[in-house]
Structure 1
């Protein structure tokens, strides 16, 4: 099992290392990465998420509702706990806290979901559906929290802070929803719910963008990391422990409270037990909000999940 996990993680580290090398060697500008950011955040990832959700049958999404409940509650609890900790305990700025929180709360469904789940439960339509639903949950029901905070701080920095926080909320929500990274998967869910299928020619046309999404995001993350000096502090340690141990245990508690068992219980816990995702780092860079803590958590959890994932795979084997 450890070999399978290492095999799944290998592409992540190789692609990030290539981006890191390209940035350090000045093959690409590791300070001004706006062009790469636009490609990843406005084209590649939205195309991948739209394709994943629009091809997911609505009945399949409804049947996955117990999984959705566990994933969303686990991510929301992790989000609010880490954000409170980052701002009140470690005195991080709202932007830094938002990036760190999204990095911790949103597992790396996109890169690790299918390899890990497929190795445990077997590859098949149900496994692919579970991963697609997981990605949709994170994209539609978690990432807007981070976008709202980043948009709010951007507005305040631009001198548009004369309105109250509540007064700004509709504007901020609209700005978040109009981001391709949010409306892409949301549009796919809506079309799936309405029973509207996309022409095959459309899906074929955007397929290359979707295939490039994860690789481009990981390469961009490596480029961003090449311009930083990583350090370990209290926020990084607490964030890493939360991601690898506490958040999966929260998911386990929700599973037990709901009386779930079998494949859906195993899927929910293992999806949450994945390492930190790269969305937070990429989002932050798009808004000029760098978080060294988030970058450190991303690397540490990606390494240590080689130990934590086998633990949860073993613990859930009898469910």
Structure 2
């Protein structure tokens, strides 16, 4: 099992290392990655997320309601807790905290979901459906939180928006919804819900863009990291402990509270137990926000998952036998 996990994580480290090397060798300008960021955030990832959600049958999404509830609540609880700790205890800025908390709360569903679930349940349509639902939950129900905070702080700094609290919410929500990274998966979910099937030719046309999404995002992350000096501090330690240990136990507690079936329970726990995702770092860079803590958390969480993922796979193995 450890081999399977290392096999799944290897492409992540290799592609990030290639991006890191390209930045350090000045093959890519690691101080100015706006063009690559636009490709990843406005084209590649939205295309991948749209394809994943549009091809997911609405009946399948509805049938996965218990998985959606556990995943969403686990991510929201972790997000709220880390955001409060980051801003109130460690006195980080709202933008820095937003990037860090998305890195912690949103697992790396896109890169690790299929390899890990496939190793436990085998490759099947139900496994693919569970991963697609997980990606939809993260992209539609999680990323807007980060975007709202980043949009709010950016607008306040530019003096283009005034006020506090709920009065800002409609404007900020609209700005977030217009972002391709949110609009792509949301449009896919809407089309699935109303029963409109996207023509196969359309999905075929954007398939190469979707295939490039994860690789491009990881390469971009490596380039971004090449311009930073990574440091392990209290914030990073708390973030990694939350991501790799506490958040999966939060999911486990929700499963016990709701009395969820064993197969769904194992899927939910293992998906939440995946290492930190790269969305937060990439989002932050798009808004000009550098979060060294998020970057260090991304790397350390990925490394630690070589230990923590086998732990949770072993702990949940008795549920499905």
Matched, 1:49 2:78: no
User: Which TM-score applies when normalising by structure 2?
Assistant: 0.99
| 1:145 corresponding residue in structure 2 | 145
- Whole-Å separation in 2 of the counterparts to 1:275 and 1:59: 29
The 5-angstrom pairing of residues 105-184 of structure 1 reads 105-184=105-184
Report whether the alignment pairs 1:16 with 2:21.
no
RMSD: 0.6
Question: Are 2:98 and 1:98 equivalent residues in the alignment?
Answer: yes
Cross-structure match for 2:278: 278
Q: Aligned-pair distance for 1:160?
A: 2.6
1:197 maps to what in 2?
A: 197
Q: Deviations over 1:94-151 (max 9, x none)?
A: 0000000000000000000000000011110000000000000000001000000000
Bigger shift: 54-63 or 158-167? 158-167
Distance in 2 between residues matched to 1:27 and 1:110, nearest whole Å: 27
Shifted more, 285-294 versus 164-173: the winner is 164-173
Residue 79 of structure 1 is matched in structure 2 by 79
Q: CA deviation at 1:161?
A: 4.2
Structure 1 position 228, deviation (Å): 0.2
Shift of 1:282: 0.1
Q: Quick one: distance in 2 between partners of 1:248 and 1:283?
A: 24
Q: 1:186 aligns to what?
A: 186
> How many pairs does the alignment contain?
319
Counterpart for residue 255 of structure 1: 255
Question: Shift in Å at residue 168 of structure 1?
Answer: 1.8
2: distance between equivalents of 1:159 and 1:42?
A: 25
Runs (5+) with no aligned partner, structure 1:
none
Q: Contact (CA 8 Å) 1:17, 1:222: kept in 2 or not?
A: yes
Q: Distance in 1 between matches of 2:194 and 2:160?
A: 38
TM-score normalised to the size of structure 1?
0.99
The unaligned stretches of length 5 or more in structure 2 are none
